[in-house]
Amino acid sequence: MQTLSELVAAGREREGVLFTTPERSAPYSYRDFCTNVWKGGNLMRHYGVREGMAVAVVVGPKNPTDGDEPGYLRDCPDGLLALLSATLDGAVADIAPGTEVDATALVAPAAWLDRYELAPGTKALAYGGPSEDPTVAGFERELWSENPLQPPGERAPDDPALRDDNGTYSHEEVLAASERVVEEYDVDAETTVAFRAPVTSAGAVVAGLLAPLRAGATVRFGEDAASDLAVATSESESPEKAVVRPSDVV
């Protein structure tokens, strides 16, 4: 496995639950999530996303409250879906964008869009909401009508995939890091992973999304109950005995 396209394709063939959250009664299956990643890639292509471009992705709840901050998961995986979708098109997913966004597209919760100043030509896609701005595309709404097939094009292992404040990481770099997490923490299909760290670093994406996706584990967010493993910035933030710190991953 050398590219994220291969990881998503393999995940689509898995049975079982990928994500659970207390704010949603029905869990997210591997098949549904990975199929929607394909749809997201095809949707972004309609808005000009191609190889070598950048897509800014702000991960957050569908309907943020005053206490929510960018990066923290509570009720939906839409931001995670969007960042993988961008990489399938050959773009770099910038998961720590500043307030001035110069990218082909910005995907963010509708309630936070007014925090960002978009460069000319940057297309805004919102989840949650809906946005009152007619120029903003509804990410979830348009996703459902998209083609549920893998986006066209072939990715190379050394193609850039993720960008955070510390740099840019290729497909092979993040996949190799995910393999190390799986091996070091014995992650398998029976493992539950509490995603408690903000999704603003490549290490958080690797440990909280790519490693579980690789192993068939179930990721929990927004839950207080202890899981087998936590992805958190420090051990003190989590009731789990086993904790992966994103800064230790990449």
Asked if residue 58 belongs to a domain, the reply is: yes
Asked if residue 60 belongs to a domain, the reply is: yes
Q: Say if residue 110's pLDDT is above 80.
A: yes
Distances (CA, A) of 45 to 36, 51, 121, 184: 14, 10, 14, 37
AA identity, residue 50: R
Please tell me whether residue 5 adopts helix, strand or coil conformation.
helix
Distances (CA, A) of 99 to 30, 113, 218: 33, 10, 33
Angle at 115 between CA 74 and CA 76, to 5 degrees: 20
User: Cβ distance 210 to 178 under 8 Å?
Assistant: yes
Average pLDDT over residues 123-145: 92
Average pLDDT over residues 19-45: 93
Q: How many C-beta neighbours within 10 Å does residue 53 have?
A: 16
- Assign residue 94 the CATH number of its domain: 3.40.50.980
Asked if residue 69 belongs to a domain, the reply is: yes
Domain assignment of residue 109, given as a range: 28-144
Q: What is the DSSP letter of 239?
A: S
Higher-confidence residue: 86 or 23? 86
Residue 151 phi, psi dihedral angles, 5° rounding:
-60, 145
Q: Say if residue 237's pLDDT is above 80.
A: no
Asked if residue 124 belongs to a domain, the reply is: yes
Number of domains within the chain: 1
Q: Say if residue 67's pLDDT is above 90.
A: no
Residues in contact with 167: Cβ distance below 8 Å, sequence separation at least 6, in sequence order: none
Give pLDDT tens digits for 136-167: 999 999 999 999 999 999 999 999 999 999 99
Asked if residue 198 belongs to a domain, the reply is: no
Q: How far is CA 239 from the centre of its chain?
A: 24
Asked if residue 238 belongs to a domain, the reply is: no
What's the pLDDT at 22?
83
Q: How far is CA 205 from the centre of its chain?
A: 7
Asked if residue 153 belongs to a domain, the reply is: no
Asked if residue 48 belongs to a domain, the reply is: yes
